[in-house]
Structures are given as C-alpha cells and as structure tokens.
Amino acid sequence: MADVVEALRRSFGVGSVVTDPDITSRYLTDWTGRFKGEALCVIRPVNSWQVQRAVEIANASHTPLITQGGNTGLVGGGTPVRGGIVLSTQFLKGIDIDVNSRVAKLGAGVTLSELNTKAKEVGLRFAVDITSRESATVGGMVATNAGGIHLIRYGGTRQQLLGIETVLGNGQLIARMEGLHKDNSGYDWSSILCGSEGTLGVITAVAVKLISVPLHRSVALIAVDTLSGAIRIMRAARREFANLDAVEFMSRNGLELVQRLRTEKWPLGELPPYALLIELEGDDIEVEDVAVFLESHEDVLDAALASDARADGLWFWREQHTVAINHFGVPHKLDVSIPIGGIDSFVRYVSELLELEYPNVRAVIFGHLGDGNVHVNLLNVEESNEELDHEIFATVASFGGSISAEHGIGRAKVDDLTLTRSPQDIESMRTLKKALDPALILNPGVLFN
C-alpha cells in the first residue's frame, strides 16, 4: 500500500498527496457523523489528466477510489468505509458562462454558491437550489441527482445537464462538454452518470443550463392542522399561481428543534401540528393576490407573508431543519418518495409504529411536499433497533414509493435496494458497472452490496 502512495506522489507531487491526519480527518466522516472510514491518503487533483492518472494507479493496485465533493451527502456514499484513496474534487474549479446559450461550463469542484455568485453577475442562476449550497459541489449534485426546493417548477439536476466530462472506472476520459441544448447523437453520458453516486466514473466537469434571476419572490409560511389540509392548499395554490416554485412542509417536532437550537420566535403564536411554506417567483408577483388566497382558504389556520429579501426570514424555519436535527443527535436519514395522495397515511403509519414499538425513537418529518419527497429523520435509534429503517422502507415500497428521493442509496440503503428495484433491474445496473469499472475500484459498497 505504501507503493500506491509513492506512485501517487510521483504523479501528483509530494504536497498534493495528503496523509497528515489533521487534514485527512475531515474527509473520513460523513456530514451526519454516522459513517466513518480510513484512507491511505487524500488526493486533490487540479485537472482531469491527474484524475485519469489516479484511476490508473487505483486500477493497477486494485485500490478502492472514493470520490468526494463537498462531503455533504447524507447516505455515506463519499466515506471511505472500506479504505483506499479519497479523491477530493475541491480543486477542480473554473466557471465559463455563455450568455447567448445560457450555459455554464464548470469544474466538478465548483460549489453551488460559487456558481450562483458568478452567474448572478449576468442576471442568471442555477435552477436547483439546496440548503447545503455553500459546500455542495456541482459534481456531487450531478452524482446524486440533487433535487432541492425548486423541483416542482424546473426539475432536478438531471434536467439541467447539457454535458459532462468524466474519467470512467476503466480509465477512459469521456468529454461531452459542447453544452448543446439539443444533441441526440447516441447514448447520453450525462444521464448515465447522473445519480451514479461515484460508482461509474469520476465527474471532472459539467455543462449546465442557467435560468433568469426573477425580480421578485413572495413566501408564505402557513400553519395547518393536518397534512391533508396542507395538500389541499397546495392543490389550490397550483391552480391559482403559475409561478409557484416551492411547496415545503414541516411538522411540530422539527419546528421545536429549530426553535431550541436558534432561540428564534415562531412568527405565528403556538407551534402548529404542521406548517406549509410556499414560494412564488417572477417579475410581476402580486402579494395582495397571495394574501387574498390565504384568507379565503379554510385549511389555513394562520399565515405570515414576506417578499424579496425578507422572505429569507420565513425560509429560515425550513432551512434550519437539517442542521438542527444533526445538532441534537446522529440521525438515520430516510429520504423517501411517496405518491402525494398517500403522504398523510404514510406519516400517520410511521408515527403509530414508533409510538407502539419504538417509543424512544424520535421522528422529525419534513420535506418537499410538491414532489412527494418525505424526509424521515430518526433520532435515538440504537443498534438493537436497526431493523426500524428496513421496516419503514418496506412500508414505503408498499405505498408504491421509492426508498431514495434525492440523496441516493449510498451505503445506508444498499440492503434495501431490492425493495423497489427488480432483480433484472439490479443485474442490468451491475452489468453496466462492470463494463465501465471492470476492476470495481470506484466507491465499492456504494449502491450495490
């Protein structure tokens, strides 16, 4: 194994191959603190040639190569649990924007915030937005097909992709970086790599669509009694407002944690059983129309409305959830998709299951209501209760849902993939994996067991 580090040092230079535990430690644990690993070293290539060289060395020595972007993933996909080399993309930078085509070409290590800061200079932005924007990289967003808060209007990361550059597990560099809006000349590598969680190739650069930054936005934070009520409000809002771009839900448990962590006063009196947040974006938003809509809807218990910069104050309640949950424990994060009509029954089922069989476990449930994405966060899960995750995933399958809405399978859900993907389906995915990464060096243990 010392030979591997030596070979990397010869290719990268001594300073670029990091073995100092003070520096490597932050690459060895995932964001939630649930997954921990060890690595021979961390390498931080600055171009795709270096990535290709690292893949060659990993292949020649049969050493696992774990790609890591901002390390904000929530299913342990970027943690070197089986040892090996961690390849950090953080120095794969560079952003080039074509305003005519509204296309950005950028290094995989550019963070979402960096992309938006640059795009804003020309009145544009990336359509997908996630709370981890300061650290999450565009390469990581592509590898996990990140969803985020605007999916109902613009789609997820896959829908924004116009090109990709990647070093496959077999060492081949594929560059499809023309950034064309239309290109039907064969297999689409962007789609194949998107959501592959670092198991097929190391993404080194991407070309993505950009959209206009709207002049105005209006946000309403709404207290409701039930999730069915929240869904009725969402249905009506979708009919009423063409420029609805976010519909999020929260429950009392989560709001309580945010309140405890941030000592902020909830703006609507008592904490309600559920809260709904809706956002409209456009150049001509009439705030009065939103106020009239909220006043006329019988499921609205109470509501606060804010526009433009002040809207962040209302988003605060939703955006602080992930941080607050992590502050109060090491969560099991079951990010699932449920057909929207079944969300209410699913959430009731989970609450009753915990009450009856796992009284010590605390569930914090929130998510993207508009696309059926329910984040079930379980706190105080002991080792003896690990079967709880599987029980909930089995219920998700019985509702016709998916065990991963946006974070991927990672290491956390490998044992449950068979619940929602057929044997033929999984076998075909394995065939693809073996074709592109024949020595199985890329992210072993992620996605497949």
Ligand X SMILES: Cc1cc2nc3c(=O)[nH]c(=O)nc-3n(C[C@H](O)[C@H](O)[C@H](O)COP(=O)(O)OP(=O)(O)OC[C@H]3O[C@@H](n4cnc5c(N)ncnc54)[C@H](O)[C@@H]3O)c2cc1C
Coil vs helix vs strand at 320: coil
Measured distance CA(13)–CA(190) in Å, rounded: 31
Alpha-carbon dihedral 13, 19, 20, 26, rounded to 10 degrees: 110
Looking at the Cβ atoms of 87 and 220, the one nearer to ligand X is 87
Measured distance CA(446)–CA(49) in Å, rounded: 25
Beta strand segments in 226-301, E: 244-251, 274-282
Measured distance CA(39)–CA(92) in Å, rounded: 21
Coil vs helix vs strand at 273: coil
Looking at the Cβ atoms of 88 and 294, the one nearer to ligand X is 88
- Which one among 114, 165, 197, 416 touches ligand X, defined by CB under 6 A? 197
Residue 27 near ligand X by CB under 6 A: no
Measured distance CA(159)–CA(404) in Å, rounded: 18
Residue among 270, 289, 259, 263 at smallest CA distance from 223: 270
Looking at the Cβ atoms of 118 and 375, the one nearer to ligand X is 375
For residue 78, the minimal CB distance to ligand X (Å) is 4
Measured distance CA(408)–CA(392) in Å, rounded: 16
Beta strand segments in 369-432, E: 373-379
Q: Helices (H) and strands (E) in the chain — how many of each?
A: 16, 18
Looking at the Cβ atoms of 44 and 407, the one nearer to ligand X is 407
Name the residue whose CB lies closest to ligand X: 140
Selected range binding ligand X among 141-149, 251-259, 355-363, 423-431, rule: CB under 6 A: 141-149
- Which one among 139, 171, 229, 272 touches ligand X, defined by CB under 6 A? 139
Looking at the Cβ atoms of 31 and 126, the one nearer to ligand X is 31
Selected range binding ligand X among 94-102, 196-204, 413-421, 426-434, rule: CB under 6 A: 196-204
For residue 28, the minimal CB distance to ligand X (Å) is 12
Amino acid residing at 50: Q
For residue 7, the minimal CB distance to ligand X (Å) is 22
For residue 377, the minimal CB distance to ligand X (Å) is 11
Residue 127 near ligand X by CB under 6 A: no
How distant is the alpha carbon of residue 271 from its chain centre? 28
For residue 158, the minimal CB distance to ligand X (Å) is 11
Looking at the Cβ atoms of 141 and 303, the one nearer to ligand X is 141
Instruction: Please list every residue from 201 through 230 that binds ligand X, using CB under 6 A.
Output: 202-203
- Number of shown-chain residues binding ligand X (CB under 6 A): 37
Beta strand segments in 149-267, E: 161-168, 173-176, 201-209, 211-212, 216-224, 244-251
Residue span 281-310 as binding mask against ligand X, x where in contact by CB under 6 A, dash where not? ------------------------------
Instruction: Please list every residue from 230 through 289 that binds ligand X, using CB under 6 A.
Output: none
Residue among 425, 433, 434 at smallest CA distance from 402: 425
Selected range binding ligand X among 5-13, 125-133, 181-189, 426-434, rule: CB under 6 A: 125-133
- Which one among 45, 73, 84, 254 touches ligand X, defined by CB under 6 A? 73
Residue 72 near ligand X by CB under 6 A: yes
Selected range binding ligand X among 181-189, 194-202, 262-270, 282-290, rule: CB under 6 A: 194-202
Amino acid residing at 421: R
Residue 350 near ligand X by CB under 6 A: no
Compute how many other C-beta atoms are within 10 angstroms of the C-beta atom of residue 108.
Answer: 27
- Which one among 69, 163, 169, 372 touches ligand X, defined by CB under 6 A? 69
Rounded (to 5) percent helix, strand, coil in the chain: 40, 25, 40
Q: Give the phi and the psi of residue 179 in degrees, each rounded to 5.
A: 70, 35
Residue 194 near ligand X by CB under 6 A: no
Amino acid residing at 234: M
Instruction: Please list every residue from 142 through 161 that binds ligand X, using CB under 6 A.
Output: 143-144, 146-148
Residue 381 near ligand X by CB under 6 A: no
Where do we find the tokens 């592959």?
Answer: 196
Residue ranges in contact with ligand X by CB under 6 A: 31, 67-74, 77-78, 89, 108, 130-132, 135-137, 139-141, 143-144, 146-148, 197-198, 202-203, 322-323, 406-407, 443, 446
